Amino acid sequence: MTRGGFVALAGRPNVGKSTFVNAVVGEKVAIVSDRPQTTRRAIRGVHRSGDCQIVLVDLPGVQRPRDALTARMARRVQHELEGADAALLMLNAEQGVGPGDRFIAAALTSGQVPVTIAVNKVDRVSRAALMAVLQDAAELQAGSEVFPISARGGSGVGELVEHLAALMPEGPFLFAADARSDQSRELLLAELIREAIIKRTFQELPHAVEVVVEEIDASRGGLASVRALIWVESDSQKGIVIGARGRMIKAIGVAARRELQRVLGCQVHLELAVRVRRDWRSDEGLLDRLGIT
């Protein structure tokens, strides 16, 4: 008898949810950055061990909504948590347990889904500090287990995955046996380009950028052509993304192309254009079309 189910990841922004999903899937399905609110959509990453398939649902970090975009992200988190077979609450060992974590923990305990806690980034703290955080984490949820892990380094990840696997219900696999993610190729490539931009920009700009892949043409052997639009919200942001003498957009292109070539397994010709779309973050119709639902 096979088993399979969904594990939804809840936690504040930047605690390492996407890093964990990539580590467990064994492939980069979600982009990662040190800026909060990197993840905007639910991304399902598939892990299989023997007769058990775990579908990890990577989610946006939980934060107070500021506009239509962040309101949709918050709604998505709630929706995915309700439909999951288990919830994984991720904490940041370096920051300890704060009011934001308590808020999320309280919301999770009021639901029907079993909760497991992961304390991530243990590589960043002393043993004594870790003991204190583990104690605080245990006090969040009576009855749930707490796993210290390093999503980046890998320590503790195997034990946590084994624990999650044991929570999965009996039933058929939910994804094809060799599937890694439910994300379209266009979206994955757009996200990798956005990651290259986030890593090179500051303050509000990472939040104001969206990337849309308009075309992937892989018809010529050994070379794929990818055409993408970078949206920003103002002319000054456009100026920053392009940079003096186009230096910034060139650096973004070089970094993104490397990632795209890795995913597509061939040489990539990448064409990037920057467009101003004022207030795209408040445009409900546009957010629908972007798949941010």
Ligand X SMILES: Nc1nc2c(ncn2[C@@H]2O[C@H](COP(=O)(O)OP(=O)(O)OP(=O)(O)O)[C@@H](O)[C@H]2O)c(=O)[nH]1
Interacting residues with ligand X (CB under 6 A): 11, 13-19, 32-34, 36-39, 60-61, 120-121, 123-124, 150-153
CB of 84 to Mg ion, least distance (A): 17
Distant-in-sequence, close-in-space partners of 29: CB < 8 Å, separation ≥ 6? 21, 22, 43, 45, 58, 180, 181, 183, 188
- Cβ 14 vs Cβ 92: under 8 Å: yes
| Binding-site partner at residue 120 among Mg ion, ligand X, none, CB < 5 to 8 Å by type | ligand X
CB of 39 to Mg ion, least distance (A): 3
Q: Which is nearer to ligand X, 98 or 239 (CB)?
A: 98
Q: Which is nearer to ligand X, 95 or 261 (CB)?
A: 95
Residue tagged 């094809």 (tokens): 176
Q: Which is nearer to ligand X, 14 or 201 (CB)?
A: 14
Task: Give the footprint of Mg ion on this chain (CB under 5 A).
Answer: 17-18, 38-39
Q: Which is nearer to Mg ion, 64 or 245 (CB)?
A: 64
CB of 59 to Mg ion, least distance (A): 8
Q: Which is nearer to ligand X, 262 or 269 (CB)?
A: 262
Where residue 50 falls (left for φ over 0; alpha for ψ -120 to 50; beta otherwise) is left
* DSSP secondary structure code for residue 168 in this structure: S
| Binding-site partner at residue 37 among ligand X, Mg ion, none, CB < 5 to 8 Å by type | ligand X
Helix axes 157-167, 17-25, angle to 10 degrees: 80
CB of 2 to ligand X, least distance (A): 29
Residue type, 78: Q
| Binding-site partner at residue 253 among Mg ion, ligand X, none, CB < 5 to 8 Å by type | none
| Binding-site partner at residue 114 among ligand X, Mg ion, none, CB < 5 to 8 Å by type | none
How far, in Å, are 62, 120, 124, 206, 227 from residue 149 at the CA level? 20, 5, 11, 28, 39
Q: Which is nearer to ligand X, 63 or 109 (CB)?
A: 63
What whole-number distance in Å separates Cα of residue 51 and Cα of residue 22?
Answer: 21
CB of 216 to ligand X, least distance (A): 25
| Binding-site partner at residue 160 among Mg ion, ligand X, none, CB < 5 to 8 Å by type | none
CB of 203 to ligand X, least distance (A): 15
Distant-in-sequence, close-in-space partners of 64: CB < 8 Å, separation ≥ 6? 70
Distant-in-sequence, close-in-space partners of 219: CB < 8 Å, separation ≥ 6? none
Q: Nearest residue to ligand X, using CB?
A: 61
